[in-house]
Amino acid sequence: MKKIIFVCTGNTCRSPMAEKLGEKIAEEKGLKVDVLSRGISVIKPEPAHSNAIKALALYELNLTDHIAKNFNDIDANEDALVLTMTMKHKEYLLQLFPSLVGSVFGIKEYIGEVGDIVDPYGMQVDVYCDCAKQLRSIIIKIIDKLKETSNDSNWL
């Protein structure tokens, strides 16, 4: 089974939403993939932000059991596609883990788009809902791309 790791800053908003959306979309499209999320600056193991939980409830997805985790050496050594919410996250991971060259991409970069997923942290629930909607649209494209190349031994 292949693996996708979505990465943001604190692993309480964007990347956990992407993880749950990715799991659902991959399942709906018949792609067998393990989907995880991590942060680059997790200070303590916190739950998902309450507004992220509310935003994903609109997609009948449950984030209440999520606990934030840092991207670490073990993740860097996985055979995984690492998708960051911003290009700064990508640059940071490549500084820490040079071995990720060729397997880490900005989430939009991976599908040929430009830009970042703006952090909704501390904003109103509608901003989280907009973020989830944007992530869903992008992840559909990601899963479609991966399905096209799923017969290949390498997604990247």
Catalogue the active-site residues: 8, 14, 119
CA dist., res. 2 & res. 13, Å (int): 24
Read out DSSP for 58-119?
Answer: TTT---TT-B--B--HHHHTSSEEEEESSHHHHHHHHHH-GGGTTTEEEHHHHTT-------
